[in-house]
Amino acid sequence: MSNPLYASSETSPLCYRVCDMPLRLRPREAVERQGIENVSDAILLAILLRTGSRGVNVMDLAERMLVKHGSLTALSRIPVQELSSDKALKGLGRVKAQMIKAALDLARRMAEETRDERGGFVRTPEDVAGMMRELARGLDHERFWVLNLDTRNRLKGHPHEISRGILDSSLVHPREVFKPAIQGGCAAIVLVHNHPSGDPTPSAEDIRLTRQLIQAGQVVGIKVLDHMILGRRTPDQFRDFLSLRESGTVEFGD
């Protein structure tokens, strides 16, 4: 009598469905042929998932995840419990949801390691974006951070979070912005916040607040070097950030 725990691949309905796919569409074969850095997000998700479920092969499941949530960034925001119980993603389950969330969080942690390996120097807007984009990637609300810098423009400590929610002067008070920099003997700061919409175009409030903080910095003797707004790359938007200094939107002085 056959043992169902050791069903052969020849009789497995799931394996049949995957193996019945055209060779060019099979996840592992696509990675072998194109290189892992060149395949689609759906193929990478399928590699992580390994298997689908009855009636849904692994590529279908991966593609459904991306279609429903729109992007890996959006997917990273979904709690494991919500992801695993989604009836539209039948066959995902808690273990696979944990695997996906773990992979996305590893990407965030790797970005943090890269920041540390670079020594934390802030010389260009790209340096700031490299330090901060993974902190902002999965957020569905605005957050405002301050990077405190020494006289060599090297980051002192971790990014300091000032507020969560809609950005306005009542939430981002100069006292809270400059207090850690004053206590730490910092020479300059960089302001950073995210736009969950993905569009880094500054609002009128962003500009007004930046000018207010520049003036406050002049009073306490700490330079505001820049205000960075983090968004997302799109086919029409190559960069996922905007520097108010670089764009000329606000005058920061020397």
State which fold the 119-247 domain adopts: Cytidine Deaminase; domain 2 (3.40.140)
Nearest Cα neighbor of 144 from 193, 82, 77 is 193
Flag whether the pTM goes above 0.85: no
Q: What is the pLDDT of residues 197-246, one digit of tens each?
A: 889 999 999 999 999 999 999 999 999 999 999 998 877 778 899 999 99
As a whole number of angstroms, the distance between CA 141 and CA 77 comes to: 11
Q: Which two structure tokens, joined as six digits, stand for 4? A: 């169902």
Model pLDDT, residue 52: 75
**pLDDT class of 14 with cuts at 50, 70, 90:** very low
Model pLDDT, residue 116: 57
Nearest Cα neighbor of 13 from 91, 71, 99, 103 is 91
Mean per-residue pLDDT, 42-48:
88
Strand partners, 160: 146
Residue 12 confidence (pLDDT) above 50: no
Q: Which two structure tokens, joined as six digits, stand for 24? A: 């060019």
Residue ranges matching CATH 3.40.140.10 in the chain:
119-247
Nearest Cα neighbor of 58 from 37, 71, 43 is 43
